[in-house]
Amino acid sequence: MLFRQLFDRASCTYTYLLGDEATGDAVLIDPVREHVERDSRLLADLGLTLRFTLDTHVHADHVTGAGLLRARHGCRSVQARHGGAACADVPVSDGDRVTFGGCALEVRATPGHTAGCLTYVTPDHTMAFTGDALLIRGCGRTDFQEGDARTLYRSIHEQVFTLPDACLIYPGHDYQGRTCSTVGEERRLNPRLGGGRSVEDFVAIMDNLGLAPPLHLAEALPANQNCGIAQDLPAAPPGWDAVVRDADGVPEVDVQWAHAHRGVVRVVDVREVDEAAGELGCIAGAEVVPVDLLDGRAGAWDRGVPVLLICRSGRRSARAALHLEGLRFAYVASMRGGMIAWNAAGLPTG
């Protein structure tokens, strides 16, 4: 079975690609909306056909790419029958199987972090995709989304810790750069759930974490209940399907697109004022907002109006684009290559 582990830096989320090399059928576990382009390119590179997206739960810290991938690839979205999203094409329960080509994944219900948490396990019990239920040396929080510490303790001990010691654990997140663990390691070393801790010990630990709400909670939950498609999203401007994401998830357009669409997007130059007035010039009609001042200015902008960001070479505008997406701007793009590329193409400056 083909296997790839992918990563979203902003939310430290892992996405997993599994494929049957004989048939080309594939699944994505926990896809992230900002990486739909990246994941689609990888599928094409490897000659795979996406059959299913599998969400381990309704996420609160990032938005799933399931809905956008379904629209693009015709795949079907899989979520928990109980506690999942009503938009799912395939609601599953404990004991079900998801089959793609000659491969399959067992569905194990592991509620406790949320009511609808699922763990997906390969039939040979060598790999388990635990989402946020069991993390490397940790676990998902239990203080919202119908979370319950006693339920999570039981889920992990009955559904995950009963797998073979050598079974690889692939979590939904890791914030310290770790990529996988094993059942044996977590049963021995997990400071919350392992080492013979009792359920009372675990409940006391979870009750005293004092965690702040997830950064993108207000956006993520309603969007994920609709498979990642924001129901109030304004219509995209003409030609917006030309926006592609680079390997770091930055939404980009080329200079020819930027030139052709100046009249339908807000053009924001994030260079310093004296730099924008310098030898490379500035695009006519662009607002010059140095990147350090972007937060203050963007707070007054309509988040439904598309924003095209430019700078000298594309580096600052790339950072600014990801930042504005984090502020829930609906349509943002960085101009690839910046004003260096614009001038190289012989396009006019104001």
DSSP 303-324: TTS-EEEE-SSSHHHHHHHHHH
* Residue 326, pLDDT score: 65
* Residue 191, pLDDT score: 97
The ranges assigned to domains in the chain are 2-224, 240-344
CATH topology of domain 2-224: Metallo-beta-lactamase; Chain A (3.60.15)
Structure tokens at 192: 């919350």
Q: What are phi and psi of 224, to 5 degrees?
A: -70, -25
pTM above 0.85, yes or no: no
Taking the CA atoms of the chain, what radius of gyration do you get in angstroms? 22
Q: Please state, in angstroms and rounded to a whole number, the distance separating the CA atoms of residues 324 and 336.
A: 17
DSSP 116-152: T-EEEE-TTSSEEEEETTEETTEE---SSTT--HHHH
* Superfamily the domain 240-344 falls into: Rhodanese-like domain (3.40.250.10)
Q: Please state, in angstroms and rounded to a whole number, the distance separating the CA atoms of residues 62 and 69.
A: 16
Q: Could you state, in chain order, the average pLDDT of each consecutive group of 10 residues for the chain (350 residues)?
A: 96 97 98 92 96 96 90 92 90 98 98 97 98 98 92 98 98 97 98 97 95 78 80 73 83 95 93 95 95 87 91 95 78 96 95
CB count in 10 Å sphere of residue 292: 10
b vs e for 167-192, b when ≥16 Cβ sit within 10 Å of the residue's Cβ?
A: bbbbbbbbeeeeeebbbbbbbeebeb
CA 203 to chain centre: 29
Name 308's bridge partners: 267, 333
